[in-house]
A and B are shown apart, each in its own frame.
Chain A
Amino acid sequence: MTLFTRRGAILALAMTAGLATGSTGAAADYPSKPITMVIPYRAGGSTETMGRIVADALGAELGTKVVVKTRPGAGGAVGATEVAAAEPDGYTIMFAASSSLLWPPLTQDVAFDLDSFQYVAKVTEYQQAIVAKADAPFDTLDELIAQAGDTKLNFADQSAMSRAYINYIGKERGVEFTGIPTKGGGEMVPFLLGGKVDFAWSGGVHNRYGDKIKVLLSMNAQRLLASPDVPSIGEMFGVSMPSQAVIVAPKGIPAEVVATLESAIEAATKDDEVVDMVTNKLMFPVAYLGSEAITAEISETAAGLQAVVAATQ
């Protein structure tokens, strides 16, 4: 019995010592084993497609393998829950839309909150917009609002968040819209082109439809790459939708590891294959931001989001 306890004590001591040296060593020689990159969406979507290419380039920069693990569900909240609870050692990171990290804690009962993640870098911006069919009787948001004063207009949204932002605009301007929920761009487009709704929220799919669909408002803080003449919701209303595609890690990850990841991601976003995929094929801008800058941007976005939630729910 005594022997057993003593042996146990020695073992525990040895383990603590090992762990202590191990953890300082871990940050210094990071990465010493493959990194798991969680993508909280189904295979085949634009984020997942982009994520795989970024993972390859990132792995090449870091000199290790970055293994993509898709963990779809609840608009990204399932994967986010998993990553929030993961060991903050830099071997579990996530590539996701910032909306998946910001929206659920404000509106749903989930096991992570706004402070669960360390933002490492921004990779790109989704091109979110309010759009209408080319022959719609309005060309700007103001003309749309004017018409909404006479007849109640229907719009196709793609999530509770997109509906909240459009309702927020309506509320600010004193008009009411009817939101019709659709499941993604594949359902929104036939609704819009088939004339079932008057206008729609688009996550970027409108880029593929050229002059059949026109853009009335950018839902990002800035104007959109493809529609530089159309104002943004940031300019007009002082709020914006979370639009960033980010790489995050669980909170508590060592600062040196963040720095290592940050510079590797910056280099990866300059990789030819990544640039070609993001700009030419997905038609998103490559918009790298480091940890400090993206953390500030996210907290600004989150403040606007809270205002919108407070006003519309």
Chain B
Amino acid sequence: MIENLVTGFAAAFTLTNLLFIAAGILLGIVIGALPGLGSVTALAVLIPMTYYMSPVSAIAFLVGINKGGTSGGAVPAILLNSPGTPEAAATALDGNPMARRGEPVRAMKFALYSSVTGDTISDILLIVLVVPFAAIALQFGPLEYTAVLLFAFALLSGISGDNPLKALVAIFAGIFLSTIGLDPIDSSPRMTFGNINLYDGLPLTALAIGSLALASVVEQLFDMRRDGVDSGYVNQGANENRALPVREFLTYWKTILRSSMIGSLVGMLPGLGVTLAAFLSYGQARRASKKPDSFGTGNPEGIIATEAANSAVVGSNLVPTIALGIPGNIAAALLIGAFIIHGIVPGPFMLTMHGDVIYALFASMIMANFIHLGLGRMGISVWGHVARLPKWAVLPPVLTLCIAGVYLPGQSGFDVAVMLVFAVVGLAMRRTGFPVVCLVIGFLLGGMFETSLRQSVLLYSSTPGVVLGSPIAIGFFGLAVFILGRAVVRK
């Protein structure tokens, strides 16, 4: 394997390749930082560009986009409290308070460093574990997914602070919204009111951008109008201590390591996705902390936990992709499309048939992390200037970008309308103390929860004993009950 990797580095370490990686990361960061556009949109838009590249350059370029896009989303979350993607929503919880406290650059550095660290750890795990650990993905059937998701919901209810009950209500509202559309079992339309645009359910991006990013922008505009002055980002960060010594960053090694592991594990299981990793890790860091109340008030650990975990997904979700040809998430599915275009057949034989390309890909991923660190650092100084612009100059373009970002992928005015409706919903929830992120995550995972649950019922209703035969499912069910039970006892 070491030998293969050395060959891989030799193949990947060319100037063209490095340039494509850098271009990918740069595009990824910029597109990820724009509200409404994330790495998935970036990949979808840029894949046709790779038709004319060599397979290794093409895939390195796309991996760069994926890496950059995941960390770029943190920038608007920290600076504007309007996360560009749902996966960066947890970053805003502590990142934005830190920025408002006058440390936007330090917050962004924390985000970048943990992003790159999480990514690197996950890449190493990918390279070492791709063959043996692929089998784990096959252990996970509908029963196990149902249990993991229940556990996730229980953990999430504790995240957004003080009122687990309100969080649970928001999560269930999200799950309820996810049932709009065609029934996953018999395809009959539910709550679509004859509108064909609703057959696939509410559009996720529109819902997330509307309730998270747009609602935040609108709220800030209202505040400006009420206060009459532009309290702005003018002074934010003007006199801050921008330094973040590596030693200070490393004092959080426990969180970094734990979050990278959580992200890597979630990434290995197809379908769970980046957002879940981010929130699970945030919740776990909060539970493990000696001062859980400091979370949400600008605790750098919150940023580290989120960013390390969501970037760790990027590497490890290629484990099922490369070992079994099963995409770990939408980004990996798009990568599979790119593999096919370049004549690499995804599937269990990818490593034996196209080992040269795969090991060159691994090498590119490792090199991409260093480039990512360098480019990210340069980016921070640019973003730092944005932090000093007045609000009236920043918010209107953000508003426009939200609308364009939601409209473009499906070229659908319906999506824009949904976004506007959910901006109002998000605003109402903010004012009444219901956590918006819980609504979004409930919606995001609700469809999968329903499908897994109903698949399990179909499969095992005649043989319920099977449930007892799955230690993974029992373990997660038990943890979910434990977490909820403890919340009740504490009340």
A72 vs B203: C-alpha distance in the bound complex, in angstroms?
11
- Is B200 a contact of A74 with CB atoms below 8 Å? yes
Considering only residues 247-300 of chain A, those with a C-beta below 8 Å from chain B are 277, 280-282
- Is B196 a contact of A77 with CB atoms below 8 Å? yes
Q: Does B345 lie at the interface of the complex (its beta carbon under 8 Å from any beta carbon of A)?
A: yes
- Is A190 a contact of B459 with CB atoms below 8 Å? no
Given A69-B411, A160-B187, A208-B346, A44-B337 contact (CB < 8 Å)? yes
In the complex, the chain B residue whose C-beta lies closest to that of A164 is B187
Given A178-B459, A189-B324, A209-B325, A73-B196 contact (CB < 8 Å)? yes
Residues on A with C-beta less than 8 A from B320 are 190
Residues on B with C-beta less than 8 A from A208 are 325, 345-347, 349
Q: Does A43 lie at the interface of the complex (its beta carbon under 8 Å from any beta carbon of B)?
A: yes
A110 vs B189: C-alpha distance in the bound complex, in angstroms?
11
22 cross-chain CB contacts under 8 A: A42-B44, A43-B44, A77-B196, A78-B196, A108-B189, A109-B189, A178-B459, A180-B458, A180-B459, A182-B455, A186-B270, A189-B325, A189-B326, A190-B141, A190-B324, A190-B326, A193-B324, A208-B325, A208-B347, A209-B325, A277-B341, A281-B340
Supplied contacts A45-B337, A160-B187, A210-B349, 20 more A-B pairs, CB within 8 Å: A43-B44, A44-B44, A44-B334, A49-B341, A71-B410, A74-B182, A109-B189, A110-B196, A111-B196, A159-B187, A181-B185, A186-B270, A190-B141, A194-B138, A195-B138, A208-B347, A208-B349, A277-B341, A280-B343, A282-B340
Residues on B with C-beta less than 8 A from A74 are 182, 196, 199-200
Chain A residues with CB under 8 Å of chain B are: 42-46, 49, 52, 69-75, 77-78, 81, 107-111, 152, 154, 159-160, 178-183, 186-187, 189-191, 193-197, 205, 208-210, 212, 277, 280-282
Considering only residues 45-67 of chain B, those with a C-beta below 8 Å from chain A are 45, 47-48
A208 vs B196: C-alpha distance in the bound complex, in angstroms?
34
- Is A212 a contact of B47 with CB atoms below 8 Å? no
A183 vs B187: C-alpha distance in the bound complex, in angstroms?
12
**Which of A72, A73, A210 counts the most B-chain CB atoms under 10 A from its CB?**
A73
Q: Does B197 lie at the interface of the complex (its beta carbon under 8 Å from any beta carbon of A)?
A: yes
Q: Does B184 lie at the interface of the complex (its beta carbon under 8 Å from any beta carbon of A)?
A: yes
**Which of A70, A74, A179 counts the most B-chain CB atoms under 10 A from its CB?**
A74
Given A160-B186, A190-B324, A73-B200 contact (CB < 8 Å)? yes
Residues on B with C-beta less than 8 A from A159 are 187
Residues on B with C-beta less than 8 A from A111 are 196
- Is B47 a contact of A43 with CB atoms below 8 Å? yes
A208 vs B323: C-alpha distance in the bound complex, in angstroms?
12
Residues on A with C-beta less than 8 A from B141 are 190-191, 194, 196
- Is B459 a contact of A44 with CB atoms below 8 Å? no
Q: Does B194 lie at the interface of the complex (its beta carbon under 8 Å from any beta carbon of A)?
A: yes
Residues on B with C-beta less than 8 A from A75 are 199
A304 vs B161: C-alpha distance in the bound complex, in angstroms?
58
Residues on A with C-beta less than 8 A from B200 are 72-74, 78
A194 vs B136: C-alpha distance in the bound complex, in angstroms?
10
In the complex, the chain B residue whose C-beta lies closest to that of A103 is B187
- Is B47 a contact of A44 with CB atoms below 8 Å? yes
Q: Does B137 lie at the interface of the complex (its beta carbon under 8 Å from any beta carbon of A)?
A: yes
- Is A109 a contact of B182 with CB atoms below 8 Å? no
Using a Cβ–Cβ cut-off of 8 Å, how many residues does chain B contribute to the interface with A?
49
A183 vs B394: C-alpha distance in the bound complex, in angstroms?
40
Q: Does B263 lie at the interface of the complex (its beta carbon under 8 Å from any beta carbon of A)?
A: no
Given A74-B200, A107-B187, A154-B459, A190-B138 contact (CB < 8 Å)? yes
- Is B137 a contact of A49 with CB atoms below 8 Å? no
Give which listed residue, A77, A181, A205, contacts B455 with CB less than 8 A.
A181
In the complex, the chain A residue whose C-beta lies closest to that of B328 is A186
- Is B340 a contact of A209 with CB atoms below 8 Å? no
Given A72-B410, A160-B186, A81-B137 contact (CB < 8 Å)? no
Considering only residues 397-425 of chain B, those with a C-beta below 8 Å from chain A are 409-412
Residues on B with C-beta less than 8 A from A187 are 270-271
Residues on B with C-beta less than 8 A from A109 are 189, 194
Q: Does B140 lie at the interface of the complex (its beta carbon under 8 Å from any beta carbon of A)?
A: yes
In the complex, the chain B residue whose C-beta lies closest to that of A69 is B411
A69 vs B411: C-alpha distance in the bound complex, in angstroms?
8
In the complex, the chain B residue whose C-beta lies closest to that of A179 is B458
In the complex, the chain B residue whose C-beta lies closest to that of A205 is B325
A152 vs B459: C-alpha distance in the bound complex, in angstroms?
11
Q: Does B294 lie at the interface of the complex (its beta carbon under 8 Å from any beta carbon of A)?
A: no
A192 vs B488: C-alpha distance in the bound complex, in angstroms?
40
- Is B347 a contact of A209 with CB atoms below 8 Å? yes
Q: Does B348 lie at the interface of the complex (its beta carbon under 8 Å from any beta carbon of A)?
A: yes
Q: Does B376 lie at the interface of the complex (its beta carbon under 8 Å from any beta carbon of A)?
A: no
Closest 5 CB pairs between A and B? A74-B199, A208-B347, A160-B187, A194-B138, A43-B44
Minimum distance in angstroms from A180 CB to a CB of chain B: 5
In the complex, the chain B residue whose C-beta lies closest to that of A80 is B196
Give which listed residue, A71, A107, A108, A193, contacts B138 with CB less than 8 A.
A193
Minimum distance in angstroms from B358 CB to a CB of chain A: 15
Residues on A with C-beta less than 8 A from B341 are 49, 277, 281
Given A44-B337, A190-B138, A191-B141, A178-B458 contact (CB < 8 Å)? yes
A190 vs B347: C-alpha distance in the bound complex, in angstroms?
11
Q: Does B300 lie at the interface of the complex (its beta carbon under 8 Å from any beta carbon of A)?
A: no
- Is A209 a contact of B47 with CB atoms below 8 Å? no
Q: Does B139 lie at the interface of the complex (its beta carbon under 8 Å from any beta carbon of A)?
A: yes
Binary contact track B178-204/A, C-beta < 8 Å → 1, others 0: 000010111101000010110110000
In the complex, the chain B residue whose C-beta lies closest to that of A313 is B186
A208 vs B327: C-alpha distance in the bound complex, in angstroms?
14
Residues on B with C-beta less than 8 A from A194 are 138-141
In the complex, the chain B residue whose C-beta lies closest to that of A53 is B51
Considering only residues 325-339 of chain B, those with a C-beta below 8 Å from chain A are 325-327, 333-334, 337
Minimum distance in angstroms from A147 CB to a CB of chain B: 17
Considering only residues 442-465 of chain B, those with a C-beta below 8 Å from chain A are 451, 455, 458-459, 462
Given A44-B334, A189-B325, A208-B346, A196-B182 contact (CB < 8 Å)? no
A282 vs B462: C-alpha distance in the bound complex, in angstroms?
39
Q: Does B142 lie at the interface of the complex (its beta carbon under 8 Å from any beta carbon of A)?
A: yes
Binary contact track B456-478/A, C-beta < 8 Å → 1, others 0: 00110010000000000000000
Minimum distance in angstroms from B439 CB to a CB of chain A: 23
**Which of B187, B324, B349 counts the most A-chain CB atoms under 10 A from its CB?**
B187
A194 vs B269: C-alpha distance in the bound complex, in angstroms?
13
A70 vs B246: C-alpha distance in the bound complex, in angstroms?
46
Residues on A with C-beta less than 8 A from B326 are 186, 189-190
Residues on B with C-beta less than 8 A from A46 are 337, 340
Residues on B with C-beta less than 8 A from A280 are 343
Considering only residues 2-59 of chain B, those with a C-beta below 8 Å from chain A are 43-45, 47-48
